[in-house]
Amino acid sequence: MAVLDAFDLTGRVAVVTGGNRGLGLAFARALGEAGARVAIAARDSERSAAALAEVRAVWPDAIAVTLDVTKREDVYRMLETVTARLGPVDVLVNNAGACIHRPSLEVTPEQWNEVMRVNLDGVWNCCQIIGEQMVGRRSGVIVNVGSISALIVNRPQWQPAYNSSKAAVHQLTKSLAAEWAPYGVRVNALAPGYMKTEMAQVDEPRFHRYWIEDAPMERCGVPAELGATMVYLASDASAFMTGSILVIDGGYTLF
């Protein structure tokens, strides 16, 4: 196989949760450009429709499916729809996420639970339900979107629930990778640093001082810069890679 051929995803079916904006949309576009049949799975159907139009501009074989990752019945329904319309899922990207900036003593039980439901339970729901199909077929790739917040404590904002949830996602990634490797299912995680998205307000002065000026590259990333990495993780180019946490952060965690 030629080197570039290893990145080809032609004919494979990929699901991207939270794929209608930010990092998720960049992942969906990149997977589509690599040849995958892409399903954008997210809660906001109107936003998903707009995202679908953008993805179809570069690759027409894509659909949008309404999904709340915290509801297992939604995951089953999404899987049934995708399988019927595109085929069995070859690649699952668990990207849907939530974050609340609040000091620990001010975090309410509802806020803590909401972050955990989306960031951890949602990943678990999708991994377990779609992973069962992959294990049965003895083939599949799962990429969980973690964060450098699993490795550091961010500043100046406090976000204990988010940090804890992403650390759990990294460990869940390793656990599933070890268990499912004999069945031909690879599980890895991508841990981005500060990226310019709606969730990360990198241009706000109180954040810029720490998020940008403290980074070795002295800039944030943009979602498109992660697209090629997602294709690598989803494709045969990373065939001998499982249980890894791939950090892409402009060097932020070096200090």
Given a contact cutoff of 8 angstroms between Cβ atoms, the answer to whether 6 and 235 are in contact is: yes
Catalytic pick among 162, 194, 232, 252: 162
Angstrom CA distances, 10 to 21, 127, 211, 215, 249, stand at 23, 23, 37, 37, 29
Report the alpha-carbon distance of residue 109 to residue 115 in Å, rounded. Answer: 10
Report the alpha-carbon distance of residue 63 to residue 40 in Å, rounded. Answer: 6
Q: Is 41 helix (H, G, I), strand (E, B) or coil?
A: strand
Given a contact cutoff of 8 angstroms between Cβ atoms, the answer to whether 40 and 162 are in contact is: no
Q: Is 76 a catalytic residue?
A: no
Q: Is 11 helix (H, G, I), strand (E, B) or coil?
A: coil
Report the alpha-carbon distance of residue 192 to residue 205 in Å, rounded. Answer: 21
Tell me the H-state helices in 12-94.
Answer: 22-33, 45-56, 72-85
Q: Are strands 91-94 and 13-17 parallel, antiparallel or unpaired?
A: parallel
Residues labelled catalytic: 162
